[in-house]
Chains A and B, each alone.
Chain A
Amino acid sequence: MPSLHELQRGFAEGVFNPSAADFAQHIHPGRFPAERHFQVYRHNVFESLTGALRAVYPVVERLVGEGFFRYAADTYIGGHPPTSGNLHDFGGSFAEFLADFPPAGELVYLSDVAHLEWAWHQSFHAADGAPLSLTELAAIAPDRYDTIRFKLHPAARLLASPYPLLRIWQVNQPAFRDDMTVNLDQGGDKLLVMRRKQVEIELLGDGDYALLSAIAAGAVLACAAEQAIRTQSDYDLAAALGRHIGAGTLTGFTC
């Protein structure tokens, strides 16, 4: 008689690696052949996990089609099952998986689209940020400005891609009814994914992207500003900070 642990381990193997496992021996001869009883669970597990991936990656699914998405999901689930009982945590490595998934090799931008959709999903569930206190900011002496460390809103995510990701994402939204042409040679995108009333995706200039990335990495203002200006020589730091504070992208600071 198997222990509880042995039984459960055998069950999971039977679901994820059916060819390697023989779980039928543990199943009571019921109304149907043992394999058919077990198959219900294998089917339920893969259906529900595929459904979870579809919910997070609708644009990826649209780009590759339902059948291919299922095939990719089946392969992914077997190798990367969830590690938490909260389904919202599942699927975070799908973009990396797609980057190394040979059958999807021709869609060079597919993995970046998946990165964008995961960022959207994370932004949707992220904590609510409190607005930055302008009074506290105004109280800082000018000679200390250089050492201010701003904080990015918990629902802000930054992404860069050599492909026109925003355009690809937009033309693949269900409500999009216009010309769907995407020119892959138009150049790449630097993006901010941010939840305001709802999750929004915004194009960033080179300077903004450099500034916010440095802030996200914990840089002090002097250092973040230097990187922004190095990337974009006409970068207007004061105006940029005003915009990012006003829009709630920066939610706090330490000094």
Chain B
Amino acid sequence: MSAAATKSSRVAPPIPASAGIGLRAEHHREVIETRPAVGWLEVHSENYFGDGGAPLDYLEQARVHYPLSLHGVGLSLGSADELNTRHLQKLKALIDRFEPGLVSEHLSWCSVDGRYLNDLLPLPYTEEALRHFTQRVQQAQEFLGRELLIENPSSYLQYAHSTIPEWEFLSEVANRTGCGILLDVNNIYVSATNHGFDAAHYLRAIPVAKVREIHLAGFAVNRYPDGDMLIDTHGARVAGEVWTLYRQAIERLGAAPTLIEWDTDLPPLEVLLDEARQAEDILEAAHALVA
């Protein structure tokens, strides 16, 4: 099959304002064979950075039936290093091949001096970091020739010299670069709990017009004698408190594409679909309100 024929047989790229699920290798076959009723799929871009073989074949087949969002975890936009051109080229090739409706990365860094830590590490929220991150997002958007979405990370520490609240930092990145915001409601909840700020206040401070996508996932709890620390594992169902926060977000934003993410202790596909249905119910209620 030629590339052109492959592309013309696909559903259109735009991501609908409905619930989608994160597609992981363990579910590749089942998704293609059973074609579950979800609005769209999202994958980690880097999982398809290989040159060929089964992962890309599966993604081709899935893309025929679902709009696709590419979610990156390794571009390291916040790193003081130069942007990794090889990584950007791989991402660009993937975008050209699969025509994703959305492409996202994180408000974080994961490498320094050429060493990669493979984690979404927190930035200091300073004027220096804001200028730096803004410039990197602009550079990446120019290279890719499209809008990026930037996602708020979960965090487990705050820097002593940070001067800007995260919600202001993220909003300012969006204002200065024209990038969209991927609002991870679970991450807001996790960070708010870990650092003792008000999650609802965070939500209210995010510019409505910039939010293009929402993430939902489950966290784990590290219990200590002096309190709990929440860890964003993507390894459980969405917590009740996070559903509540999500309802508040949708009331404010209106219906937005919403992803159920699950990465560790991956359950049967049915569990992800059940979570997606719960999000869909909330989204439909929002649609009904508008109508």
A and B assemble together:
yes
Q: Which of B34-42, B153-161, B277-285 contacts A (4 or more CB under 8 A)?
A: B153-161
- Asked whether any CB of chain A lies closer than 8 Å to the CB of B143, the reply is no
Measured CB to CB, the nearest residue on chain A to B84 is A85
In A77-116, the 8 Å CB interface with B consists of 81-88, 90
- Asked whether any CB of chain A lies closer than 8 Å to the CB of B75, the reply is yes
- Asked whether any CB of chain A lies closer than 8 Å to the CB of B201, the reply is no
Query: Which residues of A lie under 8 Å from residue B139 when comparing CB positions?
Result: none
In A34-49, the 8 Å CB interface with B consists of 34, 36-38, 40-41, 44-45, 48-49
Number of A-B contacts defined by CB within 8 Å: 147
- Asked whether any CB of chain B lies closer than 8 Å to the CB of A12, the reply is yes
Most chain A beta-carbon contacts within 10 A, residue among B80, B115, B157: B157
* Residue contact B113 to A12, C-beta cutoff 8 Å: yes
* Residue contact A125 to B50, C-beta cutoff 8 Å: yes
**From B90, B117, B156, B229, contact of A15 by CB (8 A):** B117
- Asked whether any CB of chain A lies closer than 8 Å to the CB of B231, the reply is yes
* Residue contact B52 to A26, C-beta cutoff 8 Å: no
Query: Which residues of B lie under 8 Å from residue A38 when comparing CB positions?
Result: 157
**From A26, A90, A126, contact of B53 by CB (8 A):** A126
Q: Which of A2-10, A135-143, A182-190, A222-230 contacts B (4 or more CB under 8 A)?
A: A2-10
- Asked whether any CB of chain B lies closer than 8 Å to the CB of A255, the reply is no
* Residue contact B115 to A82, C-beta cutoff 8 Å: yes
* Residue contact A85 to B117, C-beta cutoff 8 Å: no
Query: Which residues of A lie under 8 Å from residue B128 when comparing CB positions?
Result: 3-4
* Residue contact A125 to B117, C-beta cutoff 8 Å: no
- Asked whether any CB of chain B lies closer than 8 Å to the CB of A22, the reply is no
* Residue contact B109 to A124, C-beta cutoff 8 Å: no
- Asked whether any CB of chain A lies closer than 8 Å to the CB of B114, the reply is yes
- Asked whether any CB of chain B lies closer than 8 Å to the CB of A134, the reply is no
Q: A125-157: contact bitstring with B at CB < 8 Å (1 yes, 0 no)?
A: 111100000000000000000000000001100
CA distance A88 to B56 in the complex (A): 14
Query: Which residues of B lie under 8 Å from residue A8 when comparing CB positions?
Result: 79-80, 109, 112, 121
**From A2, A26, A37, A155, contact of B156 by CB (8 A):** A37
- Asked whether any CB of chain A lies closer than 8 Å to the CB of B97, the reply is no
How many A residues touch the partner, as a band?
35 or more
- Asked whether any CB of chain B lies closer than 8 Å to the CB of A52, the reply is yes
- Asked whether any CB of chain B lies closer than 8 Å to the CB of A254, the reply is no
- Asked whether any CB of chain B lies closer than 8 Å to the CB of A27, the reply is yes
CA distance A155 to B53 in the complex (A): 9
**From B111, B112, B119, contact of A44 by CB (8 A):** B119
CA distance A52 to B132 in the complex (A): 30
CA distance A128 to B71 in the complex (A): 24
- Asked whether any CB of chain A lies closer than 8 Å to the CB of B140, the reply is no
Q: Which residues of A contact B (CB under 8 A)?
A: 1-5, 7-9, 11-12, 15-16, 25-32, 34, 36-38, 40-41, 44-45, 48-49, 52, 81-88, 90, 124-128, 154-155, 195, 198
7 tightest A-B CB contacts, nearest first: A85-B74, A125-B50, A5-B80, A37-B157, A127-B51, A128-B52, A8-B112
Q: Which residues of B contact A (CB under 8 A)?
A: 46-47, 49-55, 73-76, 79-80, 84, 86-87, 90, 109-119, 121, 123-124, 126, 128-129, 132, 156-162, 194-196, 222, 224, 226-227, 229, 231
